[in-house]
Amino acid sequence: FHDYCSNAALQLPAVVASVGYRLAPEHRLPAAYDDCEEALRWLASPAAAGDEPWLRDHADYENCFLMGTSAGGNIAYLVALRTAVQVNKGRELRIRGVMLHHAFFGGVERTGSEERLAVNATLALETADLCWELSLPHGADRDHQYCNPMAGGGGSELLEDVRAAGWKVAVVDCEGDPLVDRCKETARMMEEKGIEVVAHFESGGFHGWEVMDAEKGKEFNGGVLKKFVQSCLDA
């Protein structure tokens, strides 16, 4: 993952800050969301630039993005919901867009892609289920809001805050990922909420494709990701 982030930093170019958040099962959700939200608050504080020369000398606080792959895509989505109201208010930093890359979503009722790709070499469905069993709050099922963006029938009311903030959201996945239908329905749901969504779904591939395949990652960073970032900056 470090190599992928390094390549993204080179190709965009950008300063990439990867958050070391607490992990399940020792620390169940919302611990990871809390940690990443706290990282955003720290980044917006005067202490961040003072403590980190790379941020002080190179980061453009007016043009920031939230991005995550797999579990990170889930975290980026939930952190965007939780912070859309306040993160741009003080203008210490300005979020311009959100990238959900192979976002790790789930639900009790199986989707077509989950049934079709239940057994695969990269992310077997029983493995995904176990991840949720170990990370969701005790007693919660996969229709909890942390897992299923469609929970409650129509998505979180906090999506209105994302729309009001003017954030563009990219949803990226591939047809070889058992979670691709979750990402597609999340993209449709956000569009229905009035959010500007850029959806990119490739044929083939597998969960985490661009991270695990270095050449594919370079192609993605220099193409889809760079184009999305530029479109947000041009808006």
Write down the pLDDT at residue 218. Answer: 97
Angstrom distance (rounded) from CA 223 to CA 217: 10
Write down the pLDDT at residue 201. Answer: 99
Write down the pLDDT at residue 89. Answer: 65
Angstrom distance (rounded) from CA 146 to CA 103: 12
Mean pLDDT, rounded, of the chain: 94
- Total-model pTM: 0.95
List 101, 102, 200, 207, catalytic entry: 207
User: Is 177 among the residues known to form the active site?
Assistant: yes
Write down the pLDDT at residue 36. Answer: 98
Q: Which fold has domain 2-234?
A: Rossmann fold (3.40.50)
Q: Biggest alpha carbon distance in the chain? A: 51
Write down the pLDDT at residue 130. Answer: 99
Does pLDDT of 126 surpass 60? Answer: yes
Does pLDDT of 153 surpass 70? Answer: no
- The tokens describing 73, both together, are 């895509």
Write down the pLDDT at residue 155. Answer: 72
List 70, 113, 135, 156, catalytic entry: 70
Spatial strand order of the sheet with 197-202 comes to 64-69, 95-101, 168-174, 197-202
Name the more confident of 101 and 62. 101
Does pLDDT of 87 surpass 70? Answer: no
Mean pLDDT, range 203-219, rounded to an integer: 97
* pLDDT tens for each residue of 20-75: 999 999 999 999 999 999 999 998 887 777 778 888 889 999 999 999 999 999 99
Give Cα 69 to chain centroid, integer Å: 6
User: Is 200 among the residues known to form the active site?
Assistant: no
- Residue 137 DSSP label: P
User: Is 207 among the residues known to form the active site?
Assistant: yes
Write down the pLDDT at residue 225. Answer: 98
Other C-beta atoms lying within 10 Å of the C-beta of residue 234: 6
List 161, 173, 177, 181, catalytic entry: 177
